[in-house]
Amino acid sequence: MASKLSFHLTCPVCLCFFNDPTILPCEHNFCRQCIMTYLDSGATTCPECRQHFRKQDLKGNRTLRNLVEDVQQKQKTIKVKDLRQTSRNGHEMLCSDHEEPLKLFCEDDQRLVCLICREGEKHSGHSFKPVKEAMKEYENVAIQAQSFFSDENKQVGDMIFNQTNEITKSKERFKYLEERMHAQFKKMHDFLREKEKKMMKELQEAANSAETTMKQNASILGELQINCNKQISILESGLKISQPEGFLQWWSEEGFLLVKGITLSENKDIKSALQATSRLKSNRVISDHFTIGPYETDLPLIVWRDMLDFVKEGMNTSTIDKDLKLSIRKDGHLQFEGQEYFARNQKFHNGYKDNYLENIQTGQVYWEVDTGTEPGWEHGLTVRYYPKDKNASFLRTLLSYKSYEKLSLLVKDNSLYAVRGDEETLLVNQVIPRRVGVYIDCKRRQVVYCNADNMSLIHTVWCADK
């Protein structure tokens, strides 16, 4: 029953008990700070039901606030009562082995001991401290640990909030692309209707896959926050104990194991909790990462290429050659020095040359390469990515061969591999295409390789993810 009640008293944004609960016109409740931060981000719809609301629509929920305070007070009372029952007559704790007062704390075993225990073989050579002195020392450790978990808890809350925004952006992006594609496909006839149906399916699958991944990440972050709340609650309960014996008994049973888990693995001294390493290094907010490659920006031209008789009429050779190989370029706004950019090998009459590069600093670029007929065709698939370096000029970055990351496709042993720097990744279930399309989106730092004959995706590289 208590678990069900706690669920209804929890804010769906921060997953903690409501703090100054605020109700929306749709009757969903949130912490006032959570919903105000949500509004400041530009959102205008309820995170639960997507019903629109305004800032002036927010109202405090006094009944819910009183209920939360009552439940929290009862939980605190129960915890304090349980801790008090651990001591004999509420005054002095006795050793279970010798029935003597526990006056010392063994720093090696992290346990309360009596004077007889100190002289025993079990604690031979160990270091001991009086309980009051030990409490003062380890109470400071517990305070530091509490601050550590509180900071982590806030970071997780921010990550969950940002992840929720990313999911909303993903849905809006899907709607935008869907509307855009419908408008373009309406200009075409029966052949294009079938193409539209196929592309809508691929877009839906990409959007669903991205949303599923982000929701799974949000769930993981939620579980991490729940664990943080439990750990903070345990530390808070221990820090409320004023009696040294009672505190150190709690420390032996709960506090020590909890704090030990956040200290550096190579540091065996529990008193160095200030050097605790955050566990959030492996966690991050997954951005709105899904793509359908060049179809997003150049759908009409690429689809027209499939309609051979139609596309040959009125198309000039600057965008499509006699073999209907495309080369498309759309420039965006100019970028400043120190920004990341891409480069590709230039092609001459006798093939591609490594020493001649075309810089791609802005916009989108798409080109196609025949894998069998062109000499040195693999160089045509090679893309160089130059990460951002604010301290280096554009010319210096360009001339520094060590500053770029090499991206390419490789055919080896009748298999297709994706190359990133010195790392080769086998592309499972991928046939070697007759013609490869390469698509670069500078703004999104994205490189896409696809089978140019049917525009099926081969491999995508997000250069900012590594």
Query: CA geometry: angle at 227 spanning 221 and 233, to 5°?
Result: 135
The average confidence (pLDDT) of the chain is: 79
What is the predicted pLDDT for the residue at 87?
A: 47
Q: What b/e sequence results for 59-92 when a residue is b if at least 16 CB atoms lie within 10 Å of its CB, and e otherwise? A: eebeebbebbeeeeeeeeeebeeebeeebeeeee
Residue 419's pLDDT is 92
CA 379 – CA 346 distance, rounded (Å) = 9
pLDDT tens-digit readout, 202-228: 888 888 888 888 888 899 889 888 988
CA distance linking residue 435 with residue 346, whole number of Å: 18
0.75 exceeded by pTM: no
**Facing residues of 460 across strands?**
448
Strand partners, 30: 22
CA-to-CA distance for 401 and 355, rounded, in angstroms?
Answer: 11
* Residue type at 251 in one-letter notation: W
What's the mean pLDDT in 102-112? Answer: 91
pLDDT, tens digit, 9 for 90 and up, residues 1-28: 455 677 778 888 888 888 889 999 998 9
Inform me whether the pLDDT recorded for 81 exceeds 70.
no
Q: What is the pLDDT of residue 424?
A: 92
Residues 276-295: tens digit of each pLDDT = 556 676 778 877 777 777 77
Give tens-digit pLDDT for 298-335: 777 777 766 655 544 544 444 556 565 666 666 665 55
Q: Tell me the per-residue pLDDT of 157-180, one tens digit each, with 9 for 90 and over.
A: 889 988 988 898 899 889 988 888
Q: Counting beta carbons within 10 angstroms of the beta carbon of residue 134, is it exposed (0 to 12), middle (13 to 18) or buried (19 or more)?
A: buried
Tell me how far the alpha carbon of residue 440 is from its chain's centroid.
24
Predicted local confidence at residue 105, as pLDDT: 93
353-376: pLDDT as tens digits = 777 888 888 888 888 888 876 667
